[in-house]
Amino acid sequence: MQELDWPELNKRNIKAFLRRDDELSAASGNKFYKLYYNLLNAQQLGCNTIATFGGAYSNHIYATALTASALGLYSVGIIRGYKPKVLSPTLQDATDLGMKISFLGKKDYARKDIRSLLPILKEMDGEFYLIPEGGENLAGVRGCIAIARAVAKQLHNNPYTLCSAVGTGSTFAGLVAGSPSTVDCLGFSVLKGEDKLGAKVSEWLSLLGVKNERWQIKTGFHHGGYAKVTPELMEFMRAFELRNELLLDPVYTAKMLWAIESLAKTGYWAEGSQVVALHSGGLQGRRGFGLSMM
């Protein structure tokens, strides 16, 4: 965990930390945790093929290809859209790692109807294990509980706010489920007009049998919508990176940090508070914005 040089928070006597899951491994960040139980389940079921979904710059596709390759498993990526003339760097990496890439038109992809998937699924050898897009299932949520427990252990269960970017709500649900009763969990939607995330998180918590009401999801910090950026966000991100000698991804983590600073300026946190932000990795996705991973 890295204590941050963050003038807007530090001048208000707010201690800010960044949970550096981007340093975890090559398949870094929350995807490592969301894949853990899924891949364990696949191995226990004797499935030698992992199939999953994602876009051309999907962190989940990249992490699945890398982790499956390391475990000696065959992987299939079902990609949203039609095959381009040149693969994105993410899909090329996945292919180089042994993942079979299949494309599905956006309309069929959105429905993920079994009839549209049959031609792809029939090509697989042996039993296969299907992971939802982004690892959004109960196994993925369970894996993310470990993140919250590790943070609590590092901060000795002292009061703090645990912050995370929110896309599907599954990572955030794991953070809420794994946090002690002294902790507030604050999620920031990276989606435009998404009003169902709270219900999704509540559903995951119910399935886990967890009762925790110390959480909320804030909207309005998406900078145009999923995978959209603004000049202001990019300027903020570059300054933050230079000041703290690290890299961020503009889709999730940078938007969360922008939101935290925006709230701090309004006096959201009292003087002396502690804020912990989750760096959820995804640095390979920087290439979709013409940014280096190094």
Residues 6+ apart with CB under 8 A from 233: 223, 250, 254, 255, 258
Closest CA to 135 of 50, 194, 56, 217: 50
Considering Cα of 187, then 234, then 60, then 38, what sign does the dihedral take?
negative
In a domain, 95, yes or no: yes
Residue 213 CA to residue 257 CA, distance in Å, equals 23
Q: Who wins on pLDDT, 183 or 193?
A: 183
Q: Which of 54-63, 150-159, 190-199, 273-282 has the lowest mean pLDDT?
A: 190-199
Where among 66, 92, 126 does a domain terminate? 126
The residue-averaged pLDDT of 57-61 equals: 89
Among 264, 38, 272, smallest CA distance to 159 is for: 272
231 or 115: whose pLDDT is higher? 231
Cβ within 8 Å of residue 135, ≥6 positions away: 31, 34, 35, 38, 52, 60, 143, 170
Position 134 confidence tier, pLDDT thresholds 50, 70, 90: confident
Burial class (CB in 10 A: 0-12, 13-18, 19+), 114: exposed
Here the CATH number for the domain that contains residue 252 is: 3.40.50.1100
> Are both 199 and 284 inside the same structural domain?
yes
Q: Do 236 and 258 touch, CB atoms closer than 8 A?
A: yes
Is residue 46 exposed (0-12), middle (13-18) or buried (19+ Cβ within 10 Å)? exposed
- Are 122 and 240 found together in one domain? no
Residue ending a domain, choose from 104, 126, 148: 126
What is the 8-class DSSP label of residue 221? Answer: -
User: Does 82 map to a domain?
Assistant: yes
**Each residue of 67-76: pLDDT tens digit?**
999 999 999 9
* Domain, as residue range, for 87: 48-126
pLDDT confidence tier of residue 57, bands split at 50, 70 and 90:
confident
Comparing 115 with 128, the larger pLDDT belongs to: 128
In the DSSP assignment, the letter for residue 252 is T
**Neighbour-count burial for 2-15, b at 16+ CB within 10 Å, e otherwise:** eebebeebeebebb
Cβ–Cβ < 8 Å for 264, 4: no
pLDDT: which is higher, 145 or 57: 145
Tell whether 254 and 114 lie within a shared domain.
no
Asked if 92 and 152 sit in the same domain, the reply is: no
Closest CA to 244 of 40, 18, 79: 18
Is there a domain that residue 118 lies in? Answer: yes
9 and 71 fall within a common domain: no
The strand pairing partners of 185, in sequence order, are 162, 215
Distance between CA atoms of residues 30 and 74, nearest Å:
22
Looking at residue 116, its pLDDT comes to 65
* Whether residue 276 sits in one domain with residue 184: yes
Both 243 and 114 in a single domain? Answer: no
Task: With a cut of 80, say whether residue 111 has pLDDT above it.
Answer: no
Question: Distance of CA 261 to CAs 6, 50, 189, Å?
Answer: 9, 39, 15
Q: Centre a 10 Å sphere on the Cβ of residue 206 and count the other Cβ atoms it contains.
A: 11
Give me the percent of the chain exceeding a pLDDT of 90: 59
Among 85-89, 127-131, 285-289, the range of highest mean pLDDT:
85-89
Question: Is residue 187 within 8 Å of 216, Cβ to Cβ?
Answer: yes
State residue 104's pLDDT score: 83
Determine the pLDDT at residue 126: 65
Position 32: which residue type? F
Q: Which residues contact 113 (CB under 8 A, 6 or more apart)?
A: none
197 by DSSP, 3-state: which? helix
Give residue-wise pLDDT tens across range 267-279.
999 999 999 999 9
Tally of domains in the chain: 2
59 belongs to a structural domain: yes
